[in-house]
Homo-oligomer: A and B are copies of this chain.
Amino acid sequence: MEKRKKFMLSEADIPTQWYNITAEMANKPQPMLNPQTKEPIKAEDLFPLFAEELSRQEVNQTDPWIDIPEAVREKYKIYRPTPLVRATELEKALDTPAHIYFKNESVSPMGSHKLNSALPQAYYNKLDGTTNLTTETGAGQWGTAMAFAAKTFGLELAVYMVKISYEQKPYRRSLMQTWGAQVIASPSMSTKAGRKIITDHPNYQGSLGTAISEAIELAMQTPNCKYALGSVLNHVALHQTIIGLEAEKQMEMAEEYPDVVIGCFGGGSNFSGISFPFLRHNMTGEKHTRFIAAEPASCPKLTRGRFQYDFGDETGYTPLIPMFTLGHKFAPANIHAGGLRYHGAGSIVSQLLRDGLVEATAIRQLETFEAGVLFAQTEGIVPAPESTHAIATAIREAQQAKEEGKKKVILFNLSGHGLIDMSAYDQYLAGDLTNHEVTDEEIDKVLAEN
């Protein structure tokens, strides 16, 4: 048999169910709380904000498998199953005994994994009779996915795009508009939340936390309008498990099983997606894979944040979420990995980290771009700045395998390509990029105000 580079599934192999890890966790994630009453949030408490089925998925801790609606699965066929690729050329460049695989989620029309959750979110809202949606986006990966998903299921969409990304990545704004969405730079004057932060900090470049506040506020004030979130929440992680479920079958085709699984980490969507299906075999004791969440050193909630109840947005419109957080007022540095500029981690990953079932590592911006360029020059694909965090971590693991002279099977998620992030590569190649440090004092200060 000839040497295989890619491991491909057919459309018939697209999973028919998502995997709900909370049903099988020994220590369940703590519930979200109502900020006023401190009572646990129930599905119906979320109905004003989210479609009913999404609200039920959010609090479901009993069913390990949730059916994927046929209409969503049909749309998944536009780009799924995605390839699993052996990074043979990267291995050669590193001269490592490690086998490196990546799941290539960059093949969606907008270039990232985000469509995996955008499609079901639009679908369930359409079912409920929702006509308008609002959402936020950092680098624009989620906003573009949501724009196409909304168009597909016939919904209107308004996207609050973090201002620094709106300026750094204008093509993602164009993409959203081409798919028919309305795009507003955040903070904006269109909401109370936006007006307040613009007034308090006139040069504020925005954050995901602020954009979420604005999107929620607009949704609450608009008839027949709901809100959609691209990460952090349990139902988003649920939809993203399609990544790992496919990867599991593909690793079988490759006749290997990962010793390490790696994803970059913003709020948790792609890390959860690649990890949870493999993690379930750790929870039964059958496997002993390591899972590494790779976060930016400038926004280190997992490695240096505190586990506590916190708001998911800057203004405090969301329920309280049990999570590792830097504080909901944390203003991350303007790194190019805009999708990772979020103060908190989803409650499932937070619980898994507390229980030692997953690990986290923090990577500085320059190391991530160095890894990104090496990956581009060997494997061809220019990775998104977010995904370079996973690649840098995979390279560290591969180098360690070389030092130890050990074979090791590494799997990482290539969450997206960077074709629309080329200004970041320009800056890197010109030597104009820097690392952004955050001091313990800064973190303590924001958390003290929480």
Residues in A lying within 8 Å of B, measured CB to CB: 2-6, 8, 10-12, 74, 77-79, 89, 107-111, 148, 151-152, 170-171, 174-175, 177-180, 373, 376-377, 379-382, 417, 419-420, 422-423, 425-426, 429
**Across the interface, do A4 and B8 meet the contact criterion of CB distance under 8 Å?**
no
| Measured CA separation A379–B148 after assembly (Å) | 9
* Chain B residues with CB below 8 A from A148, complex form: 377, 380
**Number of copies of this protein chain within its complex:** 2
Minimum Cβ distance to chain B for residue A118 (Å): 11
Can you list 25 residue pairs at the A/B interface with Cβ under 8 Å? A2-B11, A2-B12, A3-B74, A8-B8, A78-B379, A108-B380, A109-B376, A109-B379, A109-B380, A170-B422, A170-B426, A171-B423, A174-B423, A175-B382, A175-B419, A177-B426, A178-B377, A178-B382, A178-B422, A179-B376, A180-B377, A419-B419, A419-B420, A420-B420, A420-B422
- When the two chains form their complex, are residues A178 and B425 in contact, meaning their CB atoms are under 8 A apart? yes
Bound CA span A175–B420, Å = 10
Minimum C-beta distance from A398 to chain B (A): 19
Once the chains are docked, how many angstroms separate the CA of A363 from the CA of B379?
37
Say whether B429 contacts A178, CB under 8 Å: yes
CA distance A426 to B175 in the complex (A): 9
Nearest-neighbor residue (CB-CB) of A3 within chain B? B74
* CB-defined contacts of A107 to chain B, threshold 8 Å: 107
**Extra A-B contacts (5), CB below 8 Å, given A6-B77, A178-B376, A178-B425:** A8-B11, A152-B380, A171-B419, A174-B426, A175-B425
**Closest Cβ–Cβ distance, residue A8 to chain B (whole Å):** 6
Beta-carbon contact of A5 and B78 below 8 Å: yes
Given contacts A5-B11, A6-B11, A111-B419, contact A177 B77 (CB under 8 A): no
